[in-house]
Amino acid sequence: MVTLTINGKQVQVEKGTTIKKAAENIGIEIPGLCDDNDLQPFGACRLCVVEDNRGNLVASCHTPVREGMNIKTHSKKVIDARRLILELLLSSHNADCFECDKSLHCKLQKYAYELNINNIRFDGEKRDFHVNAVGPIIQDPNKCILCGKCVRMCHEVQTIGAIDFADRGFDAYISAPYEKSLLDSDCIFCGQCVRVCPTGALVENPEIDKVYEALNNPKKHVVVQTAPATRIALGEEFGLKPGDIVTGKMVAALKQLGFDKVFDTQFSADLTIMEEGTELVKRLEKGENLPLFTSCCPSWILAVEKFYPELIPNISTARSPQQMFGSVAKHYYTKKAGIAPEDLFVVSIMPCISKKFERTRPEFDDDVDAVLTTRELSRMIKEAGIDFTKLEEEKYDSPLGESTGAATIFAATGGVMEAALRTAYSLLTGEELKGDAVEFTAVRGLEGIKESAIEINGKTVKIAVANGIGNAKKLIEKIKNGEAKYEFVEVMACPGGCACGGGQPYTDDPDFRQKRIEGVYENDKNSPKRKSHENEEVKKMYEEYYEKPYSEKAHHELHTHYAS
C-alpha cells in the first residue's frame, strides 16, 4: 500500500493506483475529457492536472501515487491551468450548444460551467470541417476536441481500427482512412465511440422527425416495438438508477405519444428462440456447420461479413428479433388487424445504433421504418412534457406484446445463449427445466469470454459467449487454430451486451454495466414464464400462420442470408 496526502487528508491506496483514482476514493472528482474506465490512460487533455509537493502540475489520470506525495487537487494554480486549457479548447470550438445533440450530456459544456468560464480570452480560428451525416453515426469534427477516446475505444476495446487521427496540429481531425464515410469503412456501427465521446463530435443520426411525421399522418397505422434492454435503462434519463425496471411506464409513455399499438421486441425474441433453437437442434443432429453462432447483433454480423466471411455458413439464419418483428408486423399483424401493409409504419426503440443500419439492409425490404435509440425516445418523452416517473404503468398490446423471461435476458451478455438453451433442452429431451434450473449461471457476468458445457440427453454441448468485438476476435482465433471447439457460440458486439449498447443513456456511473445487468436478471426472475416456448401469443401465431418453427413460410419471412 502507498500512503499519500490529498488536500490535507491522509489516504492509503494500492501501489499503481493513479492520483485521480485515489482522489475518487475519498470522494473528490477531478475533471477529465480523455479518460475512461474502459481505456488505457492517455493524458491528452491535461484537464486533470493536480499540484504536487514541488508545485509542479501533473496529469492525475496517468500518474501513479508515490509514498509521501502531497497533492492539491483544486489549488489556485490548478484551477487557473484548467481554465486556461478549457478556454483554449473553447476558442476553436463550434459551440452551437442549442443545436447540439450532446447538449446537457457534453463534458466540455459541464466543465465550462463548473469551472466558471464566463469569458473566453482568446478569439481563435474556428474548426471548419465537413460534417458527415451519412449513415447511422454523424461525425462532426468541428465539435471534436481530439481527446482520442473514440479512436482508442475502436482500437483497444473493439479492435476494429475503423477511425484514427489524421493530419497535424490545428488541422488534425478523426476520420476513417482516406476521409471515407464510416459506411465505406471497416466500421461496424457498434456505437461504442459515440458512447465515450465527451462532446457532440459523434452522435447517432436521429430519426425522431420521421416518427413524428408518421404519428401525425392520419393514414398511417404506427406501431412501436421496444427492445429488451430499453426497459432497464430508460429510467436513467429521468433520474432513476441504472437497472431500474420501467417497462410499464415506458409503455404508458409510448401510448401517450400517440402510437397506435405498443408491442414488444421481446415477443419476437421469443420467436427468434423458437427458430434459432430449432436450427441448433437440427445442426446438432446433423453435426453440420458447428459451432452455430447467434445472429441477432447487427454489428457482429457486419464484423463477420467484413473480417471472417468464411464463418458465414456458421451464423444462424434467423433474423434478429428487430427484423423478425418487422416481418411479422407486415405479414401476420396486418392480415389479422385488417390493415393495408403500405399503411403500416413500424418504429423500433433500441439500445443500439447498429439497429439503424440493420433496418436499411436491402434483404429486409424496409420492414422497419425508423429506429430510435433509448436516448431519442427519452427526448420525445421530455418534449411531450410527460412526467415519466409519475406515469401509471400500462401493458403491451396484443397480439405482439407477450413475452417471457427468456426474451428479457437477451439484453445481457450470455442471455441469448441461456434463452436458447432453455428451449433446446426441452426440444431435445422432451422434458422441462423446472424452477431455477432454467438459470445457466456459467454464461452470466461481465467476463469478456465465458465458456461452459452442458449435458443434454447424455451428449455434451460445448458453449461459449463473447461480449465486445475484441473478445469475439480472440475467441474466433482460438476456434480457428483448433485450441477450442464449441457447438454453440453467442457474440454481442458491445461489452456487457445490449444493456450497454451505444444508444443507451449516457452515464458516468462506473458500475453501469453491472447495475443494468442486475436489472435484467431481476426482470427474468419476476417473469411468470421464463421459457420462450411457453409464450402463448407466439404459439398462437404458429398455429394461425407459420405452422411450426422452421416451416417454409418461416424460412421465407423469419430467416435471412448474409453478404460474402
Which residues would be at the binding site for ligand HC1 (CB under 6 A)?
Answer: 227-229, 265, 269, 296-297, 320-322, 350-352, 355, 410-411, 498, 501
Cell of 158: 473493439
Rg (CA), the chain: 25
Which of 189, 293, 388, 486 is close enough to bind ligand SF4 by CB under 6 A? 189
Active-site annotation holder among 204, 276, 487, 490: 276
Active-site annotation holder among 363, 383, 432, 544: 363
Strand partners, 467: 492
CA 36 to chain centre: 16
Question: How near is the Cβ of 145 to ligand HC1 at its closest, in Å?
Answer: 29
Q: Applying CB under 6 A, which part among 22-30, 186-194, 382-390, 514-522 lies near ligand SF4? A: 186-194
Active-site annotation holder among 154, 297, 498, 500: 498
| Interacting residues of 228 by C-beta distance below 8 A, sequence separation 6+ | 265, 266, 269, 407, 408, 409, 410, 411, 415, 498, 520
Q: Applying CB under 6 A, which part among 101-109, 182-190, 390-398, 415-423 lies near ligand SF4? A: 182-190
Binding letters toward ligand SF4, positions 137-176, x by CB under 6 A = ----------------xx---x-x-xx-------------
Residue 467 near ligand SF4 by CB under 6 A: no
How far apart, in whole angstroms, are the C-alpha atoms of residue 106 and residue 100? 9
Cell of 212: 413524428
| Interacting residues of 169 by C-beta distance below 8 A, sequence separation 6+ | none
- State yes or no: is 403 an active-site residue: no
- State yes or no: is 285 an active-site residue: no
How far apart, in whole angstroms, are the C-alpha atoms of residue 78 and residue 371? 44
Gap between the terminal Cα atoms of the chain: 54
Helix extents (H) in 296-398: 298-307, 321-328, 334-337, 354-358, 374-383
Active-site annotation holder among 316, 403, 527, 532: 316
Residue 192 near ligand SF4 by CB under 6 A: yes
Active-site annotation holder among 149, 355, 450, 473: 355
Active-site annotation holder among 51, 275, 279, 557: 279
Return the one option of ligand SF4, ligand HC1, none that residue 527 interacts with (CB less than 5 to 8 A, by type).
none
DSSP state of 506: P
Helix (H) or strand (E) holding 49: strand 49-51
Question: How near is the Cβ of 155 to ligand SF4 at its closest, in Å?
Answer: 8
How far apart, in whole angstroms, are the C-alpha atoms of residue 72 and residue 52? 7
Phi-psi region of 495 (alpha: psi -120 to 50; beta: other; left: phi over 0): beta
Q: Applying CB under 6 A, which part among 139-147, 180-188, 423-431, 517-525 lies near ligand SF4? A: 180-188
Cell of 400: 405482439
Q: How many CB atoms lie within 10 A of CB 161?
A: 15
Return the one option of ligand HC1, ligand SF4, none that residue 269 interacts with (CB less than 5 to 8 A, by type).
ligand HC1
Dihedral pair phi/psi, residue 313, rounded to 5°:
-60, -20
Tell me the helices (H) and strands (E) count for the chain, helix number first: 19, 17
Return the one option of ligand SF4, ligand HC1, none that residue 223 interacts with (CB less than 5 to 8 A, by type).
none
- State yes or no: is 45 an active-site residue: no
Closest by alpha carbon to 449, among 408, 423, 483? 483
Cell of 168: 497535424
- State yes or no: is 279 an active-site residue: yes
Question: How near is the Cβ of 163 to ligand SF4 at its closest, in Å?
Answer: 5
Return the one option of ligand HC1, ligand SF4, none that residue 135 interacts with (CB less than 5 to 8 A, by type).
none
- State yes or no: is 358 an active-site residue: yes
Question: How near is the Cβ of 325 to ligand HC1 at its closest, in Å?
Answer: 8
Q: Applying CB under 6 A, which part among 187-195, 279-287, 355-363, 536-544 lies near ligand SF4? A: 187-195
Return the one option of ligand SF4, ligand HC1, none that residue 187 interacts with (CB less than 5 to 8 A, by type).
ligand SF4
- State yes or no: is 276 an active-site residue: yes
Query: Could you tell me whether strands 344-350 and 292-293 are parallel, antiparallel, or unpaired per DSSP bridges?
Result: unpaired
Residue 504 near ligand SF4 by CB under 6 A: no
Question: How near is the Cβ of 43 to ligand HC1 at its closest, in Å?
Answer: 34
User: Catalytic residue positions?
Assistant: 276, 279, 296, 316, 355, 358, 363, 498
Enumerate binding residues for ligand SF4 (CB under 6 A): 153-154, 158, 160, 162-163, 182, 187-193
